[in-house]
Amino acid sequence: MSVLSSVRITGNYRKLQETVEGSEVILSTISEPVIIDGYADDWPDNRIRQYYDSENALRTGLNNTKISFELSSFYQAGSLILLLDITDDRLYQTQNPVQSPTEGDHLRLSFGDIGYIHKQYIVTSNSPGWLSVIPVDKPDLPETRIQAEMQTRVGGYTIEIAIPDYIAGHYVTLQVVVRDNDDSARYAVIGNAPATEQQAAGLLFEKSANLNQFLKTYRAPAQRLSLLDARGNILATDGDIFPVDDTQNDDEVELYSHIRRLLLIADAIVGEPDRAIYRMTDDYVFNAMNNQSDHIFTRDEQGRSFLSAALPIKIDNQLEGVLVIQQSTEAITGVRHQALLKITLTSISAMGLIILVLLIYATILIKRIRSLNDQMQISATDDGRVNSVLEFRCLMMKLVNLTEVWHK
């Protein structure tokens, strides 16, 4: 099966084209269950956190009020679990959650499928603890199948919600409505998208385990493959650009790091590997989304270099997604580095051997010269007369031999 058909079969991600761009609710992969108690301490730190602030404002009716929230979500035991960590300088709550649910800070939830919204709720309360979930179309009948609890914290509050998946459907729109006083005309709203019947928003988006396994089949060592949809959302990713080699000790790693810095040609952009969890928005990826393959060569602060390339994926001449390949250049330049290292070590060894031979040879010559000098001292008197003709002849022969050795 090709990557293209895998994208179409495993997720039907073409639905994204029919929703508000950037409104997707990205689901985390969490193995341990969480308790719906309004606290985030049982959520893992590596969960996906989608951030919404004034740039996502649907209405700005407050002065000098800064509001924002982080959204995390996942599936647990047939329910969609939402965690909203809301930053608000003042929590203003209604006095009657059932009769007047919108007179204080509240959360508006909308669920639906392609083209329409079938359920809308207001989540509100007059105190921390369990929240009231009020259907917009039937405000006199609170929804008991949806569990929600809120707890305050310094600078804001957190909300946990458990929604049965048969209610949540495939699209979830969240809007945090903030008020600071009784003035009904003064309030602010931020969220992933406006709740309208004309266009669905907030597609529940989860990475595909099947695609992850598919990428693992074709991934090379020291390589990371990422498959994106047409908007840059990560459908699947597998691999590590810089895998840890357990067979090397720390001294070998440090030595190799120093040698690599000396041999590496520093013509790359200094940066870090893309650590995006659910979306990639780099320029080279954006170019691939516009049907133009692109790449970038990057070197991190440790001197490790890697190549990132983005290739558009088309079906029937229509862009369906982007394949991103990130490869450590050590696999490419390793042969060159090893050759240079081998040449360097061979040259150093040869020079050391030559120097050692010259030192030994010089030592031998010095000893002979000293011996010759001592014999000359013995063969001649202080006034220059030769003590013995035989000794003088032997001295001359040794001098001739020493000269021949030197010329050789």
d(C-alpha 282, C-alpha 300), whole Å: 16
Q: Is 81 within 8 Å of 165 (Cβ atoms)?
A: no
Asked whether the CA dihedral 372, 375, 377, 379 is positive or negative, the reply is negative
CATH of the domain at 248: 3.30.450.20
Residue span of the structural domain in which 44 resides: 20-202
Q: What is the 3-state secondary structure (H, E, C) of 190-247?
A: EECCCCCCCCCCCEEECCCHHHHHHHHHHCCCCEEEEEEECCCEEEEEEECCCCCCCC
| pLDDT at residue 362 is higher than 50 | yes
296 and 165 together in one domain? no
154 and 248 together in one domain? no
d(C-alpha 135, C-alpha 124), whole Å: 11
Residue 346 lies in a domain: no
Quick check: helix, strand or coil at residue 271? coil
Question: Is-above-0.85 flag for pTM?
Answer: no
Query: Among the listed ranges 99-103, 125-129, 203-207, 243-247, which one has the minimum average pLDDT value?
Result: 243-247
Residue 13 lies in a domain: no
Using one digit for the tens of pLDDT, what is the confidence trace for 201-258? 788 888 877 888 888 888 888 888 999 888 888 888 888 887 765 444 555 455 555 5
Query: Among the listed ranges 79-88, 117-126, 188-197, 328-337, which one has the minimum average pLDDT value?
Result: 328-337
Closest CA to 108 of 176, 60, 39, 170: 176
98 and 179 together in one domain? yes
pLDDT for residue 271: 46
Contacts of 20-24 with C-beta under 8 Å, sequence gap 24+, read: 20/193, 20/194, 20/199, 20/200, 20/201, 20/202, 21/231, 22/192, 22/193, 22/231, 23/173, 23/192, 23/193, 23/201, 23/202, 23/203, 24/192, 24/202, 24/203, 24/204, 24/205, 24/231, 24/233
> Residue 60: which H helix or E strand, with range?
strand 57-60
Residue 84 CA, chain-centre distance (Å), reads 24
Q: DSSP strand E in 61-170: where?
A: 68-76, 79-87, 106-113, 116-124, 129-130, 132-135, 147-153, 156-164
Last residue within a domain, chosen from 328, 362, 389? 328
> Residue 362: which H helix or E strand, with range?
helix 330-379
pLDDT for residue 39: 94
316 and 360 together in one domain? no
Percent over 90 (pLDDT), the chain: 24
Using one digit for the tens of pLDDT, what is the confidence trace for 16-30? 556 677 788 989 989
| pLDDT at residue 335 is higher than 70 | no
| DSSP strand pairing (318-328 vs 305-315) | antiparallel
188 and 304 together in one domain? no
pLDDT for residue 152: 93
Confidence label for 40 from pLDDT (cuts 50, 70 and 90): very high
Residue 4 lies in a domain: no
Structure tokens at 384: 């220059």
Residue 39 lies in a domain: yes
Closest CA to 302 of 264, 249, 344, 252: 264
Query: Among the listed ranges 127-131, 172-176, 218-222, which one has the minimum average pLDDT value?
Result: 218-222
Structural domain count of the chain = 3
Mean pLDDT on 318-323? 87
| pLDDT at residue 330 is higher than 50 | yes
pLDDT for residue 386: 56
161 and 224 together in one domain? no
Confidence label for 400 from pLDDT (cuts 50, 70 and 90): low
Tell me which of 344 and 59 has the higher pLDDT: 344
255 and 366 together in one domain? no
d(C-alpha 400, C-alpha 378), whole Å: 18
How many other C-beta atoms can be found within 10 angstroms of the C-beta atom of residue 131?
24
d(C-alpha 132, C-alpha 124), whole Å: 5
pLDDT for residue 341: 74
Query: Among the listed ranges 71-80, 135-144, 243-252, 321-330, which one has the minimum average pLDDT value?
Result: 243-252
Tell me which of 92 and 333 has the higher pLDDT: 92
Residue type, 286: F
CA distance to 47, 128, 194, 304, 322, per residue, from 157 (Å)? 19, 9, 22, 42, 38
